Structure 1
């Protein structure tokens, strides 16, 4: 009888939102057992619902952790498999296409030229053409700079001309 009075007092405090977590746990534990009082029997589904939900949450957390552990294993295996595949590809490429030692290649009219002297002379000619074009560009730049200086020297005359025409 004393236990029932204590539970009724806790229920009163529970519905007034005055209970602590420990007291709420006492209520849940009480309603998990066989309740004999007719008045308290009406509250059993309420507290069992909370217990059922808590059990389901724990079960879901357990499932979630097992899924995470398997996904971690899969990602770990996938990472090592991808590293091994990259290494195998690099080795395969090295074995199939070894370095030929001569990195100088020239193609003239779609035909590979293996004559080193001819390739060097063609490259030399092209480089001299590029250098001559750069020299012309440098001369043009110098001419433009000198014209800019002339324009700067004439700017005071322009401002004087504007001042004179404004007074007219």
Structure 2
């Protein structure tokens, strides 16, 4: 086969435009011993492809993956630990502690905390009363804006009547 023809087929091969028959011609050409030096890389490529076509996988492929029983027991143990932890946490939360059970320091801290909460509550209530006054002002402003809209509509109507006469 002519060298020029092979180079054209190789260019088509590189662009993935060859047919199966043309690829067979290229393979047949590179099976020869005498190949130009600038095409030696292609010869090695096609030798590799023909060699790998003949290879076969001979190992057995297991159909079911091997699973050890240890992982199952680890997951069972993890679930058991989580369940016990949740049980003890809920059990501890259900125990009622009365003021009589507290020590003197704990009772003092409880009383101080309650005083702080009462102070914060009273300040929040005062702020709420101030907000009620602002709500009243806001509602009156909204009423004034509505009245102003009515006056604007009345003004437009009277201007139309005056222009028609």
Instruction: Name the TM-score, length of structure 1 as normaliser.
Output: 0.42
Q: Structure 2 length as normaliser, TM-score?
A: 0.42
